[in-house]
Amino acid sequence: MIEHRNFIGGEWLAAAATRPIVNPATDEVIATVAESSAADVAVAVRAARDAFDSGPWRTTTAQARGRVLFHMAAVVREHADRLAEIETRTCGKPIVESDMDVQDAATCLEYYGGLATKIHGETLPVPDNAINLTLKEPVGVVGLIVPWNYPLLLAMWKLGPALSAGCTVVLKPAEQTPLSMLEFARLVHEHVPELPPGVFNVVTGDGPVAGRALVESMEVDKIAFTGGTETGREVLHGVARSNLKKVSLELGGKSPNIFFTDCDLDAATDGALFGVFINQGEVCSAGSRVLVQREIAAEFMTRMREKTARIRLGDPLDRATKMGPLVSREHADRVLAAIERGRQEARLVAGGGRPAAQARGCFVEPTIFESDNSAWIAREEIFGPVVTVIPFTDEADAIRIANDTPYGLAAAVWSRDIFRCLRVVKAVRAGIVWVNSMQPCYVESPWGGYKQSGHGREMSLHGQEEFLETKQVHINLGEAPLAWY
Ligand code: NDP
C-alpha cells in the first residue's frame, strides 16, 4: 500500500494528517494520501505564487510552453494503462471507460499545447491618431478543484488551458479519487523536467478544509471549479469573502433527452440508456430525464427495460463489464435513499436496489422510474444510475418540460425531422444540445451550462479564454495629448 504526499514546488511534502483511499469495487483500503490543512494549502499557494511572480513559466515563449504540454501528453499516452487502472480502482468506472478517459486527457493536453502559440490580442480601430490593441496575459495563480467522476480528465480540462496561458496552478482532486492525479504528478516530475518547480502543485484533502482554503486564499487569482451546484454556491461565497478572484463553475444538471414518435426506436433506446447509464450515471450531463412522446412511450419503455436487464454489472477491471460500483459507500447509500424517496411519487419500472449478485462493493442497479416532471426524482440531480421517463404530448409540451428545471447543462433531441430538431435546439436553454446522439464530448467544442449549471465554458478556445486577462494598450501617435486645462 502506497502512502502519498502532496506535490508542492517540485517536492513531495507530508501534510498534517493522512486519509485512506478505498476501492469501491472491493471495499478495500488501497492507499493513503495527505489530508491537507489550510496551512498545507498555503504552502502550495506560495510555491505557485513564487513560480508565477518570479519563475520563468509566464515569460517563457509560447512555443516552449506548448512543447511542455505535448511532452506531458506523450507521457500520459506512454503510461496510459497504469493511469487507467488507477482510475478504475479508485472511482469504480469500467476499465474500458478509463482507457478512453486517459486518451482524452492526453488529447486535451495536446490541444492546449497547440493553442499556446495561437493566443493573441487584437487591434481596434479607435477614432484617433493612435494604435489601440489588446494583450492577452495569464490570469495568475489558479486553484483547480475537481470532482470524482472523471478525476484525471476533468483535471486536464483545467490544467491544459491554465498551463498553456502561462498560469501556475494548485490542483485539489476530490477526496475519494486523488490517485490518478498523484500518479500524473509523479510522471510529470520524473519525465518532464522542463516544467519548472512550483508551476504545477497538487494538494489532497477535504473540500470544506483544503478546497475552501484555496477558494479563500488572498494569493490565488482564479478558481476553476467542477462539482455540485450547492458546492458551487459555497465557492462563490468564499470568493466574495476573500479577494473577488475570478471564478468559473461547471456544476450539476438534470438534462432532458427528448424522443419524438419518428425517431429510430432501436437507436433511440440505446441512446437513452447510454445517455444516462454511462459511468454509472455519475455524469454531470447525464440524460436523467427521458422525455418520450406519448404515442411511443409504452413501446419505448418495454425496450428500455429489456436492454437494461442485459447491462453487465461487475468487476470494473473486467473488460466485459458495462457498469461498475458507485464511487463510495456513502454515495451508493445516498443514491439508494433517493430511489426509496422516488418510489413514493413515481412508478418504479426497473432496478431499485443493490444487485443481488454483488456481495461486496458499492453497486446499485440501473433504475428506471416513470412519472411526470413534478416528481422529486425527476427534478433532483441523483448522480447515479437512475433515470425518469416522462411522457409528453407534442413539441411545445416537450420544450416546456425540458426547460422546467433550474439546470441548463445539456439536452438531446431525437427525430428524423431536422426542422423540428432545430426548433428544439433553439428553444432549449442549455449549454450543449445533441441531435440524434447523446454525450459526445470534444476538446474542440465548448462545454458548460446555462442557468444554475455554471459560469463560463471549458475546452475549446472558450476554455482557454477563462485563464486569460485582456489588457488594453493605447499608443498615441499624435502630437501632444488634448490640452484640457
Ligand atoms: P462536490 O461539489 O461535492 O465536490 C467537488 C469538489 O469540490 C471536490 O474536490 C470537493 O472536495 C470540493 N469541495 C467540496 N466542498 C468544498 C468547499 N466548501 N470549498 C471548496 N471546495 C469544496 O461534487 P462531487 O465531487 O460530488 O461531484 C459531483 C458533482 O459534480 C455533480 O453535481 C456533477 O453534476 C458535477 N459535475 C459537473 C460537471 C460539469 O462539467 N458541469 C462535470 C462533472 C461533475 P471533496 O471531494 O473533498 O469533498
How many whole angstroms from 210 Cα to the centroid of ligand 1?
Answer: 13
* Nearest Cα residue to atom 31 of ligand 1: 228
Within-domain flag for 299:
yes
Determine the pLDDT at residue 349. Answer: 98
Determine the pLDDT at residue 20. Answer: 97
How many whole angstroms from 228 Cα to the centroid of ligand 1?
Answer: 5
Q: What is the pLDDT of residues 191-225, one digit of tens each?
A: 999 999 999 999 999 999 999 999 999 999 999 99
Counting atoms of ligand 1 from 1, which one is nearest the CA of 381? Answer: 32
Residue given cell 426548433 in the structure block: 423
Number of compact structural domains in the chain = 2
**424 pLDDT more than 90:** yes
C-alpha cell at 40: 498545507
Q: Is residue 194 located within the same domain as residue 305?
A: no
How many whole angstroms from 366 Cα to the centroid of ligand 1?
Answer: 23
Kindly name the residue from 108, 167, 263, 284 that is annotated as catalytic.
284
Q: Is residue 309 located within the same domain as residue 199?
A: no
Q: Is residue 189 located within the same domain as residue 282?
A: no
* CATH number assigned to the domain comprising residue 411: 3.40.309.10
* Nearest Cα residue to atom 4 of ligand 1: 227
Counting atoms of ligand 1 from 1, which one is nearest the CA of 150? Answer: 43
Within-domain flag for 86:
yes
**275 pLDDT more than 90:** yes
Within-domain flag for 481:
no
**81 pLDDT more than 90:** yes
211 ligand 1 Cβ < 6 A: yes
How many whole angstroms from 71 Cα to the centroid of ligand 1?
Answer: 29
408 ligand 1 Cβ < 6 A: no
241 ligand 1 Cβ < 6 A: no
Do residues 32 and 21 touch, judged by C-beta distance below 8 A?
A: yes
- Separation of alpha carbons 391 and 344, rounded Å: 19
CA 424 remoteness from chain centre? 25
370 ligand 1 Cβ < 6 A: no
Within-domain flag for 478:
no
**479 pLDDT more than 90:** no
**Considering the entire predicted model, what is its pTM?**
0.97
Determine the pLDDT at residue 376. Answer: 98
Percentage of residues of the chain with pLDDT beyond 70: 100
How many whole angstroms from 186 Cα to the centroid of ligand 1?
Answer: 24
380 ligand 1 Cβ < 6 A: no
Q: What is the pLDDT of residues 25-78, one digit of tens each?
A: 999 999 999 999 999 999 999 999 999 999 899 999 999 999 999 999 999 999
212 ligand 1 Cβ < 6 A: yes
384 ligand 1 Cβ < 6 A: no
- Mean pLDDT of all residues in 420-430: 98
Range of the domain at 362: 256-435
145 ligand 1 Cβ < 6 A: yes
C-alpha cell at 272: 437513452
How many whole angstroms from 227 Cα to the centroid of ligand 1?
Answer: 3
- Separation of alpha carbons 374 and 179, rounded Å: 40
Task: Please return the burial class of 400, using the count of CB atoms within 10 Å of its CB with bins 0-12, 13-18 and 19+.
Answer: middle
Pocket test for ligand 1, best of 284, 443, 459 (most atoms within 8 A of CB): 284
* CATH number assigned to the domain comprising residue 189: 3.40.605.10
Determine the pLDDT at residue 86. Answer: 98
* Nearest Cα residue to atom 18 of ligand 1: 208
How many whole angstroms from 482 Cα to the centroid of ligand 1?
Answer: 53
Within-domain flag for 444:
no
Q: What is the pLDDT of residues 89-142, one digit of tens each?
A: 999 999 999 999 999 999 999 999 999 999 999 999 999 999 999 999 999 999
Q: Is residue 125 located within the same domain as residue 206?
A: yes
Q: Is residue 42 located within the same domain as residue 190?
A: yes
**359 pLDDT more than 90:** no
151 ligand 1 Cβ < 6 A: no
* Nearest Cα residue to atom 16 of ligand 1: 207
Pocket test for ligand 1, best of 145, 230, 379, 459 (most atoms within 8 A of CB): 145
Determine the pLDDT at residue 1. Answer: 75
Counting atoms of ligand 1 from 1, which one is nearest the CA of 331? Answer: 26
How many whole angstroms from 307 Cα to the centroid of ligand 1?
Answer: 31
Do residues 461 and 113 touch, judged by C-beta distance below 8 A?
A: no
How many whole angstroms from 331 Cα to the centroid of ligand 1?
Answer: 13
Within-domain flag for 193:
yes
250 classed as catalytic? yes
Determine the pLDDT at residue 484. Answer: 78
Q: Is residue 222 located within the same domain as residue 284?
A: no
Q: Is residue 23 located within the same domain as residue 74?
A: yes
Q: Is residue 204 located within the same domain as residue 66?
A: yes
Within-domain flag for 485:
no
Kindly name the residue from 250, 282, 365, 458 that is annotated as catalytic.
250
Determine the pLDDT at residue 455. Answer: 95
406 ligand 1 Cβ < 6 A: no
Q: Is residue 221 located within the same domain as residue 160?
A: yes
Q: What is the pLDDT of residues 158-194, one digit of tens each?
A: 999 999 999 999 999 999 999 999 999 999 999 999 9
172 ligand 1 Cβ < 6 A: yes
Name the least confident of 217-231, 275-289, 380-394, 466-480: 466-480
**481 pLDDT more than 80:** no
Q: Is residue 209 located within the same domain as residue 324?
A: no
Average pLDDT over the chain, rounded to whole?
Answer: 97
How many whole angstroms from 232 Cα to the centroid of ligand 1?
Answer: 8
* Nearest Cα residue to atom 1 of ligand 1: 227
Determine the pLDDT at residue 55. Answer: 85
207 ligand 1 Cβ < 6 A: yes
Q: Is residue 306 located within the same domain as residue 199?
A: no
Within-domain flag for 85:
yes
Q: Is residue 285 located within the same domain as residue 319?
A: yes
C-alpha cell at 2: 502506497
